[in-house]
Structure 1
Amino acid sequence: MAPLPFLHGLQVTVLSVLLLCWAGVCGGSPDPRHRDSLIQQEASRQTGGTVLLTEAERRLSTHLHKLKRQEVEGPQFPPAMHFFKARPFIQRSPVFKLLQKMPKGAALHVHSFSLVGVDWLVKNVTYRPLCYICFTLTQSVRFVFSATQPRPLPYCSSWVLLETLRAKVDNTSDLDHSLMQNLTLFTGDPDSAYPSQDTVWDRFEESFSAASGLISHVPVFKDYFYQGLKQFYMDNVMYLELRSGVALTYELDGSTHGRAWCLKTFQDVTRMFVKDYPDFLGTRIILSVNRGLNVSEVKAVVEEAIHLQEEFPEVMAGFDLVGREDRGRPLWYFREALSLPAERGVTLPYFFHAGETDWEGRDVDENLLDALLFNTSRIGHGFALTRHPLAKELSRKRGVAVEVCPISNQVLGFVSDLRNHPAAVLLLEGQPMVISSDDPASFGAAGLSYDFYEAFVGLGGMSAHLGTLKELALNSIRYSSLSPQLKDKALALWQRKWDQFISENLQ
């Protein structure tokens, strides 16, 4: 956002004074007015720094600031703690309770298989008929729905009906709890459970493998997606862009459906949800494949993505490569596949995960520059962006927003104290940014409010205010893949919700 005219003049004045002082012209104590001007100029550069607040908004911002100060000065400061330990403190926080009510706009970085809390998966889905379970050699589980005895898996025990297993155990609550532990990373002692980044990533990927047999079953797939939309809607999110492999779903007889069927289902369920909740704007899908594939495999999916975008323009947003960057192949390895749309003269928007690493100088650390070379629409995570000044400058000039997911970055081992998250610098610089939740179900979170709390209290510190929150929410619409007409509609709808939020929460 360009500085306001009066701020530009202020910059010139202050810089002139500083240059004179550095040249030795000034003497004695600095002028307090110049100090105030410097502080105002720096504050104007941060996210929300040029947002003009109404009188009502300023009053609510003052109240929020007071609540945040009490939190900062309290005995526990949640952003400095691992989220698994901080969650009960966050849930009791007056700041968090206010943020839950706030219209947050859109969630633009969420994976489709981590939408819904695992308690719903276990207590609803695993109690459905014909649900089988087996236990793996890696001390995890696999599920499948089948009309007949499923074929054995080489790394798993014999399949057993969960209904039969529950009839044999004394305490089904204990069994259900153990199943939940296999579907989420959440634990009371994360330091012991995940002593290294490799450990937590292995467990993270294992939990998705465990959940996939449940979520990919056709009836569950539809119910799960609807329930996921509802959980985000209840958290005052009005639009979603989901990363999804949408590869295969299956029926009881073992027959399967491909990506086109899945996209059609996403579209149909979204329309049904919007009919039930007319103030929800919709969902779009970013087709995603794992970066561990080879070039020919990714090329085939890019080909398919081009056709799917033509067939489903309403729901298909673009393409991404997902999975752990440090173990996967860099974007440049896939350049032949990623150049295919341009060679065909078609547009396939990219939304690349890039910079989700803390290893400076390795091959994958160039993903940020390569993502920009391939004209990515947004940068997923961008944790390493502050170590790439050129990429930061280019993304700012092009208006390429960073999708910041604070809880994910902490849980997956990139940063322990969120006050030290690189995005804290990006917030102060006013870098284009949106806040999202990545895999909330895997982390024991829900919707978007937990990540907004960590961003507002941890990343933003005491300098973040209501204007910061307002701009972050507006950014989620501005940097979405929606058409200009739908963005206008979304902004108008969000403004009505925002005005109501302000009026209902004034002290």
Structure 2
Amino acid sequence: MTASPQRPPAAVLLLPLLLLSCLNRGLSIPDPRLREALIRLEDSMQAGGKMELTDAEKRLDAQLFKMKQEEMARADFPPAMHFFKARDLIRASPIFSVLQKMPKGGALHLHDLSIVDVEWVVKNVTYRPHCYMCFTDNRSIRFVFSSQWPKPQPGCSPWALLENLRAKTKNATDLDISMMNNLTLFTDQDPEAVYPSQDVIWDRFEQTFKALWGLVTYAPVFREYFHRALSQFYMDNVMYLEVRALLPELYELDGSTHDKTFTMKSYQDVTEQFTAKYPDFFGVRFILSVHRGINMSVMTEVVEEAMKMQKAFPHIVAGFDMVGREDSGRPLWYFREALSLPQERGINLPFFFHAGETDLEGTDVDQNLLDALLFNTSRIGHGFALLRHPVAKDLSRKSNVAVEVCPISNQVMMLVKDLRNHPAAVLMLENHPLVISSDDPAAFGAFGLSFDFYEAFVGFGGLKSGLGSLKQLAMNSIRYSSLSPQEQEKALALWNTKWNKFVSEMIF
């Protein structure tokens, strides 16, 4: 764990007690000056509350405040609505327009197979030659590229060559829309009716990844897919990514496969090409991941592989994590022997554990937050349950372990309905270490990071959070990244240049 943040001066800690002492001297009406002092003290404690703004930033802050007042007065307030219903309202929001232009720093919680819009996938990838599709028994789809007719797949209809299928279909657009619907959770229907429970939506969620797998893991597509991902985040003014990567074995048209080193090298090559073309994009690091449903022996092999991969690619491998539904997967403590291997061998393999992405209080899985901290996790993925664990909350603050908050993901996956009630709203008011990210934006019908920043800024923050909060959150994404201290300073300098330009252009 990193060093604890510096404690606030004793005078700051004593001020509330002194003020309350004055208030309790029998005055019939409390002194308004003391009231204002308490309000200022509380405001200073939130994310960005101590941020000193320039004159230009203060003018932009005032503009954002007026926009927020208008937004919060609306009957159809987007953070109070399901994102699928609110998406178009958010897109039309003047605040969203500002946030799209704002340099947001880094996105530190992303998954490799859900970071590119599905429309691009369908209209570009599935129109390639030799692309086959079948329909599964559970009303999903699968794809494969092959130079010969693919072998039958259990639980799937006979393979159909998409070229032929489109030629026979009266309306190819309908077919494309049907495929898109299988690659994302987004729906124009009532989402609460379509997804009545967490079990239903998680099953559907996992089906989208299985449907994407055969498309994205085709070696020629893989590189284009990842390049498209970098482009989308770059266009959304995100300058750095940390991606949870399953490192699939990529395949060729003849069915031959490449090992995971080839996959890692492909990531590295595309990143280098992209940063060469866009030098103000700072790069990508990867958190090697595995599904948490595996057993102990497989986990031991995976951790061994992660250590080897980190040694082979030290500049781009950030560490290790487990992915998949926390409630149905094995808890961290089950894997304690495998997870202890790096430390036993004197190898620094940082962990970035998903933990607390649950509302099942008191279960074995609910202890993942404490266990993640015991294993010195560098950050906490989601941490939705953190407020129910005061010890873990205190430890994460004192150890400066940031929570990766993904607002839209938590709402869509049915942990919270109204984002004003998200636990991170409290964490923001306390300036708890946290960053905002988008998890699986393509699966949710979103892109980049701006939608999640909107939900955090407008939903979590209310009228109290201003430009200082946005600035703090953007800087947090660099300070709590896996970059070295020297790289962080370089990234912050680059971000600051972008920020100053943004502020000057936004003032009207």
Tell me which interval the TM-score lies in, with the shorter structure as reference length.
over 0.9
Aligned 8 A contact 1:380 1:402 in 2: yes
Cross-structure match for 2:154: 154
1:119 — aligned with what?
119
Alpha-carbon distance in structure 2 between the residues aligned to 1:492 and 1:365: 39
What is the aligned partner in structure 1 of residue 330 from structure 2?
Answer: 329
Aligned to 1:55: 55
Q: 1:3 Cα shift?
A: 6.9
2:259 maps to what in 1?
258
Q: CA deviation at 1:397?
A: 0.4
Q: Indicate if the aligned counterparts of 2:217 and 2:248 stay in contact, CA closer than 8 A.
A: no
- State the aligned residue count: 503
Give secondary structure in 2 for the equivalent of 1:148. coil
1:347 aligns with: 348
SS of match in other structure, 1:242: strand
Q: For 2:463, what is the secondary structure of its paired residue? A: helix
Report the Cα offset of residue 76 of structure 1.
1.1
For residues 336 and 6 of structure 2, the distance between their equivalents in structure 1, rounded to whole angstroms, comes to 34
Cα offset, 1:83, TM superposition = 0.2
1:185-205, Cα deviation, whole Å (9 max, x unpaired) = 000121111011111111000
- What percentage of residue pairs aligned between the two structures are identical? 63
Task: Please give the alpha-carbon distance, in whole angstroms, between the structure 1 residues aligned to 2:129 and 2:257.
Answer: 19
What's the CA shift for 1:2?
4.9
Alignment of 1:492-503 (within 5 A): 492-503=493-504
User: Secondary structure in 1 aligned to 2:126?
Assistant: helix
Q: Mark the runs of 5 or more structure 2 residues left unpaired by the alignment.
A: none
Whichever residue aligns with residue 408 of structure 1, its letter is S
Q: Deviations over 1:300-346 (max 9, x none)?
A: 01001101101001111100001000000000000011000011111
Partner of 1:363: 364
Matched, 1:403 2:404: yes
State the secondary structure of the residue aligned to 1:243.
strand
Matches within 5 A, 1:249-328: 249-328=250-329
Counterpart residue identity of residue 335, structure 1: R
- 1:96-245 equivalences under 5 Å are 96-188=96-188, 189-245=190-246
Distance in 1, matches of 2:465 and 2:258, equals 47
Aligned-partner residue type, residue 87 of structure 1? R
Conserved? CA contact 2:23–2:31, under 8 Å = no
Structure-2 change in CA distance of 1:345 and 1:367 (3 Å): same
* Mapping of residues 357-396 of structure 1, within 5 Å: 357-396=358-397
Q: Distance in 2 between matches of 1:210 and 1:370?
A: 33
Contact 1:245 1:287 in 2 (8 A): yes
TM-superposed deviation, 1:13: 3.6
- Answer whether contact 1:60 1:502 (CA < 8 A) is retained: yes
1:11 CA drift (Å): 4.5
Q: Deviations over 1:86-117 (max 9, x none)?
A: 00000000000000000000000000101110
Query: Residue 144 of structure 1 aligns to a residue in which SS?
Result: strand
The Cα RMSD (Å) is 1.0
1:432-471 superposed matches below 5 A: 432-471=433-472
Q: Deviations over 1:322-372 (max 9, x none)?
A: 100000000000001100001111110000000000011000000000000
Q: What secondary structure is seen at the aligned counterpart in 1 of 2:352?
A: coil
Do 1:405 and 1:435's aligned partners in 2 also have CA atoms closer than 8 Å?
yes
Question: In structure 1, what is the equivalent of residue 82 of structure 2?
Answer: 82
1:18 aligns with 2:20: yes
Measure, in 1, the Cα distance between the counterparts of 2:384 and 2:438: 14
- For the Cα contact (< 8 Å) 1:243–1:285, is it kept in 2? yes
Q: 1:11 to 1:34 in 2, by over 3 A?
A: farther
Q: Does the alignment pair 1:489 with 2:490? A: yes
* CA distance in 1 between partners of 2:163 and 2:12 (Å): 71
Q: Which amino acid aligns with 1:18?
A: L
Counterparts of 2:146 and 2:173, CA distance in 1: 24
Which consecutive segments of 4 or more residues in structure 1 shift more than 4 A? 1-5
Amino acid of the residue matched to residue 358 of structure 1? D
Q: Against the structure 1 CA distance between its residues 3 and 98, is the aligned structure 2 distance closer, same or farther, given a 3 Å change threshold?
A: farther
Amino acid at match of 2:85: K
Q: Quick one: which amino acid aligns to residue 121 of structure 1?
A: V
Aligned partner of residue 257 in structure 1, secondary structure:
coil
Amino acid of the residue matched to residue 61 of structure 2?
A: S
Distance 2:260 2:408 in 1: 30
- Cα 1:228–1:242, aligned 2, differ >3 Å: closer, same or farther? same
Q: CA 1:370 to 1:13, structure 2 compared with 1: closer, same or farther past 3 Å?
A: closer
- Structure 1 position 10, deviation (Å): 4.9
Aligned residue for 1:253, secondary structure, equals: coil
Q: Could you tell me which residue of structure 1 aligns to residue 414 of structure 2?
A: 413
Describe the shift of the 1:413–1:14 C-alpha distance in structure 2 as closer, same or farther (beyond 3 A).
closer
d(CA) in 1 for partners of 2:13, 2:69:
30
- Give how far 1:4 is off: 6.4
Equivalent residue, structure 1, for 2:478: 477
The verdict on how the C-alpha distance between 1:3 and 1:398 changes in structure 2, with shifts beyond 3 A counting, is closer
SS at match of 1:75: coil
CA distance in 1, matches of 2:448, 2:377: 25
- The residue number in structure 2 matching 1:506 is 507
Shift of 1:248: 1.3
2: distance between equivalents of 1:170 and 1:459? 47
Tell me, in whole angstroms, the C-alpha distance in 1 between the residues paired with 2:466 and 2:260: 43
Deviation at 1:292, TM superposition (A): 0.2
Whole-angstrom distance in 1 between the partners of 2:118 and 2:283:
23
1:488, CA displacement in angstroms? 1.0
> How far off is 1:247 after superposition?
2.7
| Structure 2 Cα separation of the partners of residues 256 and 397 of structure 1 | 46
User: How big is the shift at 1:12?
Assistant: 2.5
Q: Equivalents in 2 of 1:373, 1:450: separation in Å?
A: 33
Which amino acid is 2:14 matched to? Answer: V
User: Given the two structures, how large is their TM-score scaled by the length of structure 1?
Assistant: 0.98
Preserved contact between residue 142 and residue 213 of structure 1 (Cα < 8 Å): yes
The farther-off stretch of 248-257 and 465-474 is 248-257
